[in-house]
Structure 1
Amino acid sequence: MKMTPPSITTDHFPPAPLMSGAEEDSANPLRWPFQFFVRTVSTGSSMVMTGYPEESVKSVLAKIAWVTGMPLRELRVIYKGKQLQLEKTLMESGIENDSNLNIVGHLRSGLYPAASRPIDYVLSLLAHVFTSNKRSACAALKTVKVLTMRHFSLPGFVELYAASNAPTMLASIYHSSRDADSGQLAASCIINFMSCVSTKNWQGGSIGAVMEFCKQLRKFGHGDRDYLYLSCRNTLGHLLNTIGVSHDSGSVKNRVSLRDVFSFVPELVDSLLVSLDYSKRCGDTILSITRPSPAEVSDLIIFLAPFRNAIILQKQYLGGFVSGDDEKCRVEKDDDQLLEEEVDYLRLVFVRLLSKMDECFHVMAECLAGKQSGGRGFVLNYSWSEYLRILKDLYDTSKVFDGAEEMFWTVLRFHKNMLSALVVGFVKRGGDHRWVLDNKSVTNFECRRHLALILFPAVDEDFDMLHEMLIDRSQVLAESFEYIGRAKPESLRSGLFMEFKNEKATGPGVLREWFVLVCREIFDSRHALFVSCPNDCRRFYPNPASKVHPRHLEYFRFAGRVIALALLERVQVGVVFDRVFFVQLAGIRVILEDIRDADPCLYRSCKQILGMDADFIDSDALGLTFVRELEELGCREVVDLCPDGKNVVLNSQNREHYVDLLIQHYFVTSISEQVANFAQGLADILSSSKLQQFFQCLELEDLDWMLYGSENTISIEDWKAHTVYKGYKESDCQISWFWEIVGRMSAQQRRVLLLFWTSVKYLPVEGFRGLSSPLSICRTAEPSNRLPSSHTCFHRLFLPEYSSISVMEDHFGVITQEHIASSFGLS
């Protein structure tokens, strides 16, 4: 890279050697001075110098020695890959106006004297390649490779290497070598350098050299069609993404230019757009889609990040441009302000990529619709996971430009189901795609549920690690508390093995039944742990008076563990939380609208106070002060809502504060210990760091569906669509009779039959599609006087070959009685 500091005139140098009278003739064109650029290894910068055609090379070196302070005897001049002879003139050496000279030497008096000698030797060998025969050139290149590997970790080596002409010379040899062997050896030297950058962990000073290789290979070669260039660009991207800010401010090349980084963006954008373009149709049918590779997506993201962050920092009026949120790689800008055309180009990249993603989502929807309708289409292809990475980068870029965020969310809102399918299909534990939750309107329930559940640890599949429980049905709450409440959290995260005393059934079906039974006990009003909402008996929040139970806080922690385990096992337990409970678990402040269901009377009273005429309130007609009358366990108590609250009169100015304090005392202060212990129980399974994140992923309705399931009437058609037959055919009379009988059942009988068949009391919100496996009706050799039986773990109903519909209906009339349905399930 050329740098053009102020020209250095002869006033800065010692007097030039005396010239003859002929030389002093101003009419002689040889006396006309010209300028040339001199690049010095010790600083990595260039100087603009003036000289005369008949001036000797040694005279030029004398001037440079005067400026740099380096001994003249250590300097060498390299021009077009050749070392110039000191006694020859500039004209004899072929130097012309605006030529580029490289000054190298041992530099024992420079910053890196130890590294200067091998660099000098490397440059001499590379210069030798241009003029020597094939054998000698190959030997020189092999020596260059060995020297690089041997001295790479030497302090200053990579800095001097970057500042020298070595990258240019190797790139030139690779692309214009007279024989293939020399070209391949030059490529080997470059690959070897990139390998050293990666393996020797010498990254800080390497970025300049890698940048030089990329620039020179692109200049000499065929850009992104050259494997060597792509390899070097990939290494550069790796450095931009991983290295720390240089702590060696004196290094020759410890930073890269923002303009240099951005110069790679257009080719990366074009390549990605081509890969995102779909092709090959036959009429309206899509035959194939060209999908982007992970490397293409990664490279563009990495090279865009420094430029995007530079714009953000410039908007914030900060000095210096930094790549990455944690200052991974310092990037210098070339001018005081970013060039307007480059900022405009980034805006254009955003629009083009967003438009292309819109097209991709349309094609994706067509493919999935074709698959679902039985046509020729695609299921989710793993390559589509790259769409999420592209969208994340577009999301980051949208924050740079005015109006871009709304444009971004508008596109995703239109493709909400496709985006959600990608998240559910490809986002795994450890991945961070919570950015989609910045605007929950672009997600559906399945997407939000997935992002919440992957915060839980993975369940260990090792059967020997399961936490075993043997529970007496008559003592479900007490014995479950002993098994769950006193267990170490890590043992619970390994999974549960459940068995009821004096029963043979085991497995997932029995575990699902236990979850429903223990939650019914936990939230039973007899135990005073939770209070149900007046208008919705399914909805609960902690009971302020729960301290009547001597170990109530331990039980709240136990309850938190049970709910977390039920969520982890995806079991619908038939209870839901009230909003005042939900928002506190999410770390959100309770407001008036949150208490609507928990205490309708208090809600209406507060609304009336806030809506009353100001003069009426100020007249003290209500006679209210900042206190709350509290009655617990037959005792009446007056509690101040603020310091000296009994003397603070309610008026129009402080009524909003009064309402807020009243709500906080009713629903926060009074149950803070209960909420904290319940949250700790959840955190025992989930982890404290992810607890609020879990609840912030969800809307209250989402958690309702996860804990309670579907409230819809069971659909017979949905039931039939997700049932398979083993030993029977759909056309068999027994199957026809079965569905006819189910069709005549009441809603309650159908739920009991479903419980008997699967141990699922509450269907998932998706209906039968949400079950862990399809239901199956299996032919059994049992005589027709036997009742049907089931394997609830595998959702199997064993149906004897009954002789008539009336016999079958009588038998199903027995098992659809709720008090006996659970006793027929097997493992």
Structure 2
Amino acid sequence: MFTIPFPTADNHRHSYKRKVHDDTDAFNLDSVRMKKLVESKTEKVSTLSRLQFFVRMLPKGNSVVMNGFTDETVKSVLHRIEWMTGIPAKELRLIYGGKQLQREKSLGECGIENNSSLHLVAHLRSGPSEGCPTAWRIVGDMVSLIVRMCSGEMVREASIKEIFSSKHFYLPGFLDALVSSMAPWMLVTLYASPIAGIKSCAEGYIRYLLKCCHAEVAKASENDCIGVVLEFCNLLRRVGCDDPLYVSCRTTFTLLLSTVGVNYGSGTRKRRVLVSDVFPYFRELAGELLRSLSSNASKEILTGSVFYFTAFLVPLRNRIKENVGLDCSVTDGNCHEEDDPLHAEVVDYVRDVFVMLLKKMDVRFRAMEDCLAGEEHDKEDSVYPEFAPYLAIARELYHVSKLYDDAEEMFWRVLKLHRNIVSQLIVRFADRIKDHRWVLENKSVITFEARRHLAMLLFPDAKENYQAFHEMLIDRSQILAESFEYIGQARPESLRSGLFMEFKNEEATGPGVLREWFVMVCHAIFNPENALFVACPDDHRRFYPNPASKVHALHLRYFDFSGRIIALALMNKVQVGIVLDRVFFMQLAGKCIALEDIRDADPYLYRSCKQILEIDADFIDSDALGLTFVREVEELGCRKAVELCPGGKSLVVNSKNREKFVDLLIQNCFVTSISEQVSHFAKGFADILSNSKIQQFFQSLELEDLDWMLHGSENTISVEDWKAHTKYNGYKETDHLISWFWEIVGKMSANERKVLLFFWTSVKYLPVEGFRGLASRLYICRIMEPEDRLPSSHTCFYQLCFPPYSSKSVMQDRLRVITQEHIGSSFGTW
């Protein structure tokens, strides 16, 4: 036995507490029950002796005056105390004359007389108190202090500070004792008090506990912090869902749930946050999110609603997935409603919320489209900032859609209907922090710009640090060999920090020169004369690794180098005029090669394989073709036979095994023969990604996407587009010199325009978006030089500079000089 003050507490979660989703007021007394008790006693008042006695609340507690009758049982008195305190009668004990009163005996049989003094105690189980007696004593003192404050007793400030000291929070077993006692209930009772001082004191300590709980879980503490927060949440929720302290408590619970997941505690005290714990808050937050969407709430409010909603949704959908199995979805027949009614309610409600949110998203996407229709936006501000939370909502709807057999189609249909808006949201708001791979499951619902953005997020964030730049000084005539030494031997982290490039015996430096170097070195790498790559017969821009590259002694190291160069070009957003063939792209993406994939790489083999598969079965079974599972290859001038499978020389191709023959032939030609080269290229590429996500990078894209990223636009340069993206410094758009300039450019050949653009910007291949895709607008600048001076450029800043020429013909002569290809290169300066 251990004596504690009134109201006392048991050391476990009391069964008398109402469920979380019961919205009745926890602080109203059961007046009906008391009335019946009083009426039943009043009927016998004439024949029974009336008693008045005192119940002493120890230690240091006040006495409560009670009235009774001699034939009333001790058990009846305990139930009346339960009604008054909310403490279960079975946990209470009455002591009189040093002896515990037996429950079934009457007050008369126990010798209770008028004005007797009884002591009220509660039985504490020995387990926790034996393990952490200090913590349980402090909790007992805390409860005693709260009782005194509830009774209106003036308590010294020093006593309050001592009992509610921060040092107690870190005592072993303190939180377990706290959550197992009545202290949370009593603190919330104080918080609900109309007395300002008491309310403020209770609020201060509750907020302090919430702060400590969050800090401890963040440090992976073994204390049962989330249990304490959940207890306060359940109690404060009944005070009011709009109550500031409840909102703060729910926020802390959300943060803890996001941090520790559905399990909390450790060792033998490890517990689970149950569905019944989470579901009431999910219902509440789902309603708030839906209201926020309907009312066009601000970005901050909507972002908060999405965060809280997600934190409570995750454990629910994980529980649903556990119930139906990893590879299944919810159908009418597998929600186990009879076994677990609450689970069935959760399953139905989560799906209802999914449908309602999807409808709201459809409405909001339409509103975005109407809002943006007909408006001009800079490419950096094509979508308003307040639209940011909708991407997070879409991600959560995707995860929920995987749970229900009819939900995925609904989800993708809405996203595809609003493809442009979804793509703009991704380009504007998708970042490296969140995982956005979910949208790549159906790449058709987003545009090239969105797919490119998601792929580029896999590169490390480029931070310009000029002191950490990897510096290169390269001779143009030795560009491949010297670039190989600078790039191939460098540490990957130094390459990711940035490149500083300068050609020997040239003054020009900066990003413009770097863009020129990328184009030159890539064309050298993929030059068939260097035997590293093979060009496709019908498309000389398209390459795959040369199976015979071993003629080059350092060929595998050069493939490492090639992978680094292509990754760096992509990272620096330079179009180099080179594209990869499908057989190469598919292997980098970790996908299998099929017959249709070799169409460009080897048109002759493709047609031959098609004929073998389509030829008449009787004809091929007659062995008229004389084929066996053997492939002839030429290596270093010698021809040799390679078996496609063990015993291939004696295995004749027929109508039953011809599909296998074609598959083995393709694998040998385009997988086995270049596996080392592909592996080393991938390694070099991964060095720049700084992780092992190379397959994820290529899986994010279609082959055409990579073509556009590496090669750029193949369209003829549009003078109107060029003019629309050019600004002026020192000149005006209406000046006659500017009119002359664009008239001259309009009459240039396609090649002259390319040379002029390269001279101006060091951009040899425009992005697929045209001039809009460049990093900056172009500028025409006025310089005060004699008119015999040729135009000059600052390629880093996309600036073309020329003096005010006296006539159109003079300007035309000067421009004709710089648009000669052998002059246009390397003419710019910083």
**Alpha-carbon distance, 1:506 to partner:** 0.7
Which residue does 1:15 correspond to in 2? none
How many Å apart are 1:60 and its aligned residue?
Answer: 7.1
CA contact (8 A) 1:129 1:140 kept: no
Between 1:270-279 and 1:160-169, the stretch displaced more is: 270-279
Shift of 1:715: 1.0
C-alpha separation in 2, matches of 1:334 and 1:536: 64
Q: Which residue of structure 1 aligns with residue 405 of structure 2? A: 402
Query: TM-score of the superposition, structure 1-length normalised?
Result: 0.83
Which letter does structure 2 place at the counterpart of 1:740? Answer: E
Structure 2: distance between partners of 1:606 and 1:575: 28
Q: Which residue of 1 aligns with 2:360?
A: 356
Match of 2:144 among 124, 137, 144: 124
Larger mean Cα displacement after TM superposition, 567-576 or 493-502: 493-502
Counterpart of 1:222 in structure 2 is 240
Matched, 1:365 2:385: no
Q: Which amino acid aligns with 1:124?
A: S
Asked if the contact 1:628–1:640 (Cα under 8 Å) also holds between the matched residues in 2, the reply is: yes
CA separation of 1:387 and 1:725: change in aligned 2, threshold 3 A: same
- 8 Å CA contact retained: 2:299, 2:387: no
Amino acid at match of 2:345: E
Superposition RMSD in Å: 3.3
Corresponding residue of 2:204: 188
Q: Which residue does 1:306 correspond to in 2? A: 315
Q: Distance in 2 between matches of 1:792 and 1:116?
A: 75
Report the AA paired with residue 187 of structure 1: E
- In the other structure, the counterpart of 2:229 is 210
CA contact (8 A) 1:79 1:102 kept: no
Q: Which moved more, 1:451-460 or 1:812-821?
A: 451-460
Whole-angstrom distance in 1 between the partners of 2:16 and 2:214: 33
1:807 and 2:810 are equivalent in the alignment: yes
Q: Which deviates more from structure 2 when the two are superposed, residues 591-600 or residues 669-678?
A: 669-678
- Which residue type is aligned with residue 309 of structure 2? L
* CA spacing shift, 1:359–1:119, aligned 2, 3 Å: same
Indicate the residue corresponding to 1:770 in structure 2: 773
- Between the aligned partners of 1:155 and 1:212, the Cα distance in structure 2 is 19
Change in 2 beyond 3 A, CA 1:800/1:109:
closer
Distance in 2, matches of 1:796 and 1:378, equals 24
**Shift in alpha-carbon separation, 1:614–1:775, aligned structure 2, 3 A:** same
- Matched with 1:33 is none
- For 2:389 and 2:747, how far apart are their aligned partners in 1? 50
| Larger RCO (CA under 8 A, 6+ residues apart) | 2
Task: Give yes or no for contact 1:777–1:796 (8 Å, CA) kept in 2.
Answer: yes
Structure 1 residues 172 and 379: CA distance shift in structure 2, 3 A: farther
Query: Residue 724 in 1 paired to residue 743 in 2?
Result: no
Aligned to 1:96: none
Deviations 1:631-650 (A, max 9, x none): 12220100111111101111
SS in 1 for 2:388: helix
- Determine helix, strand or coil for the equivalent of 1:628: strand
**In 1, distance between residues paired with 2:649 and 2:278?**
67
Asked if structure 1 preserves the Cα contact closer than 8 Å seen for 2:78 and 2:92, the reply is no
Secondary structure at the counterpart of residue 756 of structure 1: helix
- Identify which of 546, 550, 566 aligns with 2:549: 546
Alpha-carbon offset, residue 165 of structure 1: 1.6
Equivalences for residues 103-502 of structure 1 within 5 A:
103=122, 105=124, 107=126, 112-114=131-133, 115-133=135-153, 135-136=154-155, 142-146=161-165, 149-175=166-192, 177-201=193-217, 202=221, 205-219=224-238, 221-223=239-241, 225-243=242-260, 245-246=263-264, 251=269, 254-278=271-295, 292-316=301-325, 336=340, 338-369=342-373, 371-372=375-376, 380-502=383-505
Shift of 1:237: 1.6
Task: Give 1:204 deviation, angstroms.
Answer: 5.2
Matched, 1:533 2:536: yes
Q: CA deviation at 1:460?
A: 3.6
State the alpha-carbon separation in 2 of the partners of residues 317 and 102 from structure 1: 52
CA contact (8 A) 2:432 2:457 kept: yes
Higher mean displacement: 510-519 or 160-169: 160-169
Cα distance change on mapping 1:343 and 1:746 into 2, 3 Å: same
Match of 2:256, SS?
helix
Q: Flag the 1:186–1:769 CA change in 2: closer, same or farther, 3 A.
A: same
Mapped partners of 2:455, 2:121: distance in 1? 60
Structure 1: which 5+ residue stretches go unaligned? 6-22, 31-51, 65-75, 94-100, 280-287, 319-332
Secondary structure, counterpart of 1:468 in structure 2 = strand
- Cα pair distance change 1:579/1:511, threshold 3 Å: same
Please state how far the C-alpha of 1:430 moved relative to its aligned partner. Answer: 3.7
Contact 1:625 1:649 in 2 (8 A): yes
Matched with 1:751 is 754
Letter in 2 for 1:258: V
Counterpart among 48, 53, 72 of residue 54 in structure 1: 72
- 1:454 and 1:317 map into 2 onto residues whose CA distance is 29
Residue identity in the other structure for 1:541: Y
Per-residue deviation, residues 764-823 of structure 1 (Å, max 9, x unmatched): 011001111100111111222222111111111112211222221122112111111114
Contact conserved, 2:92 with 2:121, CA < 8 A, in 1? no
Shift of 1:562: 1.1
Provide the TM-score with structure 2 as the length reference.
0.83
Counterpart CA distance in 2 for 1:669 and 1:679 is 15
What secondary structure is seen at the aligned counterpart in 1 of 2:247?
A: helix
User: Residue by residue, what CA displacement relative to the aligned partner does 1:645-695 show, whole Å, maximum 9, x if unpaired?
Assistant: 101111222211111110011011111111111111112211341111111
The residue matched to 2:301 in structure 1 has which SS?
coil
Q: Residues 527, 256 of structure 1: CA spacing in aligned structure 2 closer, same or farther, 3 A cutoff?
A: closer
Residue 33 of structure 2 is matched in structure 1 by none
For residues 667-816 of structure 1, the aligned pairs below 5 Å read 667-816=670-819
Question: Contact conserved, 1:208 with 1:254, CA < 8 A, in 2?
Answer: no
Deviation at 1:531, TM superposition (A): 0.8
Match of 1:586 in 2: 589
Percent identical pairs in the alignment equals 55
Aligned counterparts of 1:334 and 1:190: Cα–Cα separation in 2: 40
